[in-house]
Structure 1
Amino acid sequence: MSGAAFARLAAGNATRRTGFGYAERRAALTALAKAIRAHEAEIMAALATDLGKPETETRLTEIVPVLAEIRHTLAHLRRWMKVRRVLPTLAMLGTRARLRPEPKGTVLVIAPWNYPFSLALGPLVSALAAGNGAVVKPSELAPATSALIVRLVAAALPEDVVAVVEGGVETSTELLALPFDHIFFTGSPAVGRVVMAAAAKTLASVTLELGGKSPVILGPGADLKRAARMVAWGKFANAGQTCIAPDHVFVPRAQEAAFLTALRAEIARMYGTDPRSSNSFARIVNGRHFARLKAMLDEARSGGAEIVAGGEADEAARYLAPTVLTRTDEAMAVSREEIFGPVLPVIAYDDLDAVLGQIEAGEKPLALYLFERDRAVIEHISATTTSGALGVNITLAHYLHLNLPFGGIGNSGLGAAHGIWGFRAFSHEKPVLEDRFSSLGLLMPPYTGAKARLAKLVQRLVG
Structure 2
Amino acid sequence: MTEQEIRTILNRQREYFATGATLSRKFRAEQLGKLKASLQRHEEELNAALQQDLGKSRMESYMCEIGLTLSELTWMQKHLRGLMQEKRVPTPLSQFAAISFRSPSPYGTVLIMSPWNYPMLLTLDPLIDAIAAGNTAVVKPSAYAPATAAVLKNILEECFPIEYVAVITGGRTENQALLQQRFDMIFFTGGKTVGREVLRSAAEYLTPVTLELGGKSPCIVDATAKLPLAARRIVFGKYLNCGQTCVAPDYVLCDVRIRDRLVEAIRAEISRQFGADPLQNPDYGKIINEKHFHRLLGLMDAEKTVCGGQYDEKTLRIAPTVMTDVTWEDAVMGEEIFGPILPVLTYNAHDAEKGVAQNDFCRDASGTHAATGDFVDWAIRCVEEHPHPLALYFFSEDKKAQRRILNYCHFGGGCINDTIIHLATSAMPFGGVGESGMGGYHGRAGFETFSHYRSIVDKKTWTDLPIRYQRYDEMKEKMLRRFLK
Gaps of 5+ in 1: none
Cα distance per residue 1:297-343 (max 9 Å; x no partner): 1xx34xxx511110011222111110000011211221121000000
| 1:96 is aligned to 2:94 | no
AA at the equivalent of 2:88: R
Paired with 1:262 and 1:426, the residues of 2 have a C-alpha distance of 44
Offset, 1:35: 0.7
Q: Secondary structure at the match of 1:383?
A: helix
Matched with 1:7 is: 11
Out of 2, 7, 27, which is 1:24 matched to?
A: 27
For 1:113, give the aligned amino acid. Answer: W
8 Å CA contact 2:101–2:457 kept in 1: the answer is yes
The yes-or-no answer on 1:389 pairing with 2:413 is yes
1:94-143 CA-to-partner distances (Å, cap 9, x unmatched) read 12111111111000100000001110011000000001000000000001
SS in structure 2 of the partner of residue 11 of structure 1: helix
Contiguous gaps of at least 5 residues in structure 2: 349-374
Mapped to 2, the partners of 1:316 and 1:3 lie a distance apart of 41
Confirm or deny that 1:398 pairs with 2:416. Answer: no
CA distance in 2, matches of 1:57, 1:68: 15
Distance, in Å, in 2 between the alignment partners of 1:101 and 1:327 is 53
| In 2: Cα distance, 1:296 partner to 1:441 partner | 72
Structure-2 residue corresponding to 1:281: 284
Q: CA deviation at 1:424?
A: 0.5
Aligned residues with identical type, % of pairs? 39
After TM superposition, list the pairs within 5 Å mapping 1:189-208 onto structure 2: 189-208=192-211
The residue identity in structure 2 corresponding to 1:157 is: F
Question: Alignment RMSD, CA only?
Answer: 1.4
1:412 lines up with 2:436 in the alignment: yes
The TM-score normalised by the length of structure 1 is 0.95
Deviations 1:378-437 (A, max 9, x none): 111111111101310111111112111100100011001000000000011112212115
> Which one of the candidate residues 364, 373, 380 is aligned to 2:388?
364
2:257 is the counterpart of 1:254: yes
Please tell me whether the aligned partners of residues 311 and 317 of structure 2 are also in contact (alpha carbons under 8 angstroms).
Answer: yes
Mapped to 1, the partners of 2:282 and 2:468 lie a distance apart of 75
Q: Residues 140 and 167 of structure 1 are in contact (CA less than 8 Å); yes or no, is this contact kept in structure 2? A: yes
SS in 1 for 2:220: strand
Q: Does residue 426 of the first structure (1) align with residue 450 of the second (2)? A: yes
Per-residue deviation, 1:151: 0.5
Work out whether residues 293 and 339 of structure 1, in 8 Å CA contact, stay in contact via their aligned partners in 2.
yes
Decide which of 319, 336, 344 is 1:321's aligned counterpart: 319
In 2: Cα distance, 1:402 partner to 1:240 partner? 23
2: distance between equivalents of 1:324 and 1:62? 27
- For residue 92 of structure 1, report the CA deviation from its aligned partner: 2.2
Q: Which residue of 2 is the match for residue 126 of structure 1?
A: 129
Partners in 1 of 2:167 and 2:155 — Cα distance? 10
Q: For the residues of structure 2 that align with 1:10 and 1:235, how far apart are their CA atoms? A: 42
Inter-partner Cα distance in structure 2 for 1:371 and 1:61: 23
Separation in structure 1 between the aligned mates of residue 94 and residue 313 of structure 2, nearest angstrom = 69
Structure 2 residue 463 is the aligned partner of structure 1 residue 454: no
Q: What pairs up with 1:328-339 in 2 under 5 angstroms? A: 328-339=326-337
Q: Which of 172, 195, 202 is residue 175 of structure 2 equivalent to? A: 172
Q: 1: distance between equivalents of 2:406 and 2:389?
A: 13
- Give the 3-state SS of the residue equivalent to 2:69 in structure 1: helix
